[in-house]
Amino acid sequence: MQEQLKIALIQTDLVWENPKKNRKQLKEKIESISKTVDVIILPEMFSTGFTMNAKEVAETMDGKTVAWMKRRALKTNAAIVGSLIISEDETYYNRLLFVEPSGKIHTYDKRHTFTLAGEDKVFTAGSKKLIVEFKGWKICPLVCYDLRFPVWARNIEDYDVLLYVANWPKPRIFAWDSLLKARAIENMCYCIGINRVGLDEAQNEFCGHSATFDVLGNEIIAFKPNREQVGVVTLEKNHINYYRNKLKFLNDKDNFTLLP
């Protein structure tokens, strides 16, 4: 078990519906990371932007972008995390992949599809929460709109890190800032949010605000708005253990069952 987990966050603009160009620019950003890290996190739908044109840009689990993630993970000796559009059994998913350097892939299909943009009409919602055990850390990865639903993120698995990959637009960025902090406090965990910047094809503006909060809700890394940036944050297991043992807030949580 590692006492520290070093995570690289990539806040970037995305080229609309162009996986080849996005893979190229993200490769350059990954190669710019000078420190040794354990995990590299990319935004939601990092290969295409947040498009509903799934029929034209969807890939399979044997496609080029998944293969690219496996190569990057192997070369950097770090897990690569991000979501992309996957076609499987004649169904489309906004699927988060956690790809380990060994090539092992963990998947999570976005549970809360974004009805305001019609995502629910194109993509099938997932039904299973994912907890990844990596280097002695328990990580719960979720996607964008999931952030608004605390019951789904509720820490009943004793996870250490909650992370969100997103395309969260500027007009509602206050909610993003506030909810990331709330999820950290209520779950007594590190909470990480990776958001994109730039404009998409519909002129929706994304201003970033990628950040990491500790168990007490303190912001330990914050990115400048409206700017591409790569940052590295170090998470400490002792920080989690100390405050959970001292405060014991998770011991007092209510017990209930989440129905399908």
Distance of alpha carbon 167 from alpha carbon 66, whole angstroms: 20
Marked catalytic residue, from 17, 44, 100, 119: 44
Marked catalytic residue, from 59, 70, 100, 110: 110
Residue 104, phi then psi, degrees to nearest 5: -65, 135
Annotated catalytic residue 110 = yes
Beta 161-166 vs 190-195: how paired, if at all? Answer: parallel
If DSSP codes are grouped into helix, strand and coil, which group holds residue 43? coil
Neighbours of 219 (CB within 10 A): 13
Angle at 2 between CA 215 and CA 71, to 5 degrees: 105
Q: Which two tokens stand for residue 35?
A: 């420190």
HSE of 205, CA atoms in CB hemisphere, 13 A: 8
Annotated catalytic residue 144 = yes
Overall residue count recorded for the chain in this entry: 260
CB of 76 within 8 A of CB of 31? no
Marked catalytic residue, from 144, 189, 191, 207: 144
Annotated catalytic residue 181 = no
Catalytic residues: 44, 110, 144
